[in-house]
Structure 1
Amino acid sequence: MAPTLLDRMLSSKNAVLAFGGIVALATAFTVFGSGDQPIFPKPDDPTGDPATWSIDQLRRWLELRNLHPSPTASREELLERVRLNIRRP
């Protein structure tokens, strides 16, 4: 009995690789997806008095606003930049 088109397609390496690629993409979308609750959520914006923030929070606040803090800046320099750029209601 001669192999049918379906038999040849199922035994093809290309079909197996294509199916594997689809499964890998679906898995990646599920893990890193753009849903309401991503697996790696972005950190929240620091709140409260900037004087009580850590250096990392000061840097993150500046980076979120594209103010590019210097890697060698001291805590006092970062705090001054935040206070100059913060908008109070």
Structure 2
Amino acid sequence: MTLLDRALSSKNAVLAFGGIVALATAFTIFNSDTPLFPPVDDPTGDPATWSIDQLRRWLDLRNLHPSPTATREQLLERVRLNIRRPD
């Protein structure tokens, strides 16, 4: 057996091992009890102190998709109009 024959036969073993690792990784990611990327909680406290990203996330979670060009003041006003205060 030449060196070329050995290299080609070992390539199959490397590919098989890589496939097994890829399948095990995919199974672990998609079939685990705890998600790989847990959902982000709602921001708490006064909306006036939230960042623009938090304002956008709060609106997105309620299907109130804000305009990509909306200013912070516009986002804050929309959150305040839609927030439900406990009675």
Tell me if TM exceeds 0.5. Answer: yes
Aligned with 1:73 (options 70, 75, 80): 70
Runs of 4+ in structure 1 deviating by more than 3 angstroms, as ranges, are: 22-27
Q: Which runs of 5+ in 1 are unaligned?
A: 1-16
The 2-side partners of 1:23 and 1:54 are apart by: 41
Counterparts of residues 1-89 of structure 1 (less than 5 Å): 24=22, 27-33=25-31, 35=33, 37-89=34-86
The 1-side partners of 2:42 and 2:30 are apart by: 21
Deviation at 1:29, TM superposition (A): 3.3
* TM-score w.r.t. length of structure 2: 0.68
The 2-side partners of 1:70 and 1:34 are apart by: 35
The 2-side partners of 1:80 and 1:34 are apart by: 40
Deviation at 1:24, TM superposition (A): 5.0
For this pair of structures, how many residues does the alignment match?
Answer: 71
Q: Say what the alpha-carbon RMSD is for the aligned residues.
A: 2.2
Larger RCO (alpha carbons 8 Å, 6+ apart): 2
The 2-side partners of 1:66 and 1:60 are apart by: 10
